Amino acid sequence: MTDLRETVRLRYAEAARSVGGAGDCCSSCGCEADQFGSALYGSDAADLPVAAVAASLGCGNPTAVADLRSGETVLDLGSGGGIDLLLSARRVGPTGRVIGVDMTDEMLDLARRTCAEAGVTNVELIKGYIEDLPLPAASVDVVISNCVINLSVDKPRVFAEIARVLRQGGRVGVSDVVSEDRLTQTQRAERGSHVGCIAGALSLSEYRNGLAAAGLVDVDIVLTHEVADGMHGAIIRAVKPMT
């Protein structure tokens, strides 16, 4: 488990280091631009810092589906180079707050630079693991993430932590890779590596059941595009119920 986490950390550290003033890290990190990366943001990424866009290795645009509102507190799991932080900061406005948690120093440094370049002041970056979030309970309104939960070595713990930090009525709006229920874990591994966001993906049923087991309700999963045979980018929504 520790070795797998370290492999993921090293891959994303390399991705952060590869981002320069121009270009795209995808060519050196093994992802395909039409399946993963900044192309999935469309016009939303048009006026963002080049480095934030180039560092995007996600499988969707979670800020477009999370229905972010002015004044809300948003938590971005595995915040990477900052593209979702910047888009979230824009949507919640100056009275809102955006928190990015990432385990990779290089990505945190990159995100700090891109936020400074964009002049964003309502973003806070914290080093930590998404399985053990360094935040108090009931402290955020929305949890977003982009193609990161599939990389976790303990997904039930991630779901439990999401439920813990959300306020009552809080929302989940993430992009992730999921597999069709027909695929076994062995078949998923045959289609790609864990670090490449394929082998570690949950099935549709596993994702629904995992969120429900953590106490989240109104779970909705919409497949958006195929990334491998039987594997899809997806939008996942859920809600923490009111007591």
CATH number of 2-239: 3.40.50.150
DSSP classification of residue 58: -
Report the range of poorest mean pLDDT among 43-47, 58-62, 138-142, 145-149. 43-47
Q: 14 near 28, Cβ under 8 Å?
A: yes
CA gap 134, 4 in Å, rounded: 21
Residue 195: predicted pLDDT: 85
Residue 26: predicted pLDDT: 42
Mean pLDDT of the 106-129 span: 93
Residue 24: predicted pLDDT: 45
Residue 131: predicted pLDDT: 97
CA distances from 10 to 3, 26, 79, 111, 189 (A): 11, 15, 15, 17, 20
pLDDT, tens digit, 9 for 90 and up, residues 1-48: 568 777 777 776 677 677 654 444 443 343 444 455 555 565 555 565
Q: Which residue has the tokens 């629904």?
A: 208
CA gap 81, 38 in Å, rounded: 11
Q: 192 near 200, Cβ under 8 Å?
A: no
Q: 114 near 52, Cβ under 8 Å?
A: yes
Residue 23: predicted pLDDT: 41
pLDDT for residue 55 is more than 90: no
User: What are the structure tokens assigned to 145, written together?
Assistant: 């993430």
pLDDT, tens digit, 9 for 90 and up, residues 206-241: 999 999 999 999 999 999 999 999 999 999 999 999
pLDDT, tens digit, 9 for 90 and up, residues 180-202: 999 999 999 999 988 888 989 99
Residue 98: predicted pLDDT: 97
CA gap 105, 107 in Å, rounded: 5
pLDDT, tens digit, 9 for 90 and up, residues 72-107: 999 999 988 888 899 999 999 999 999 999 999 998
- To the nearest whole number, what is the mean pLDDT of the chain? 85
pLDDT for residue 58 is more than 80: no
Hey, which residues does 123 pair with through a beta bridge?
A: 98
Q: 224 near 233, Cβ under 8 Å?
A: yes
| Alpha helices per DSSP H over the chain | 2-18, 26-29, 50-54, 83-92, 105-118, 155-165, 185-191, 204-213
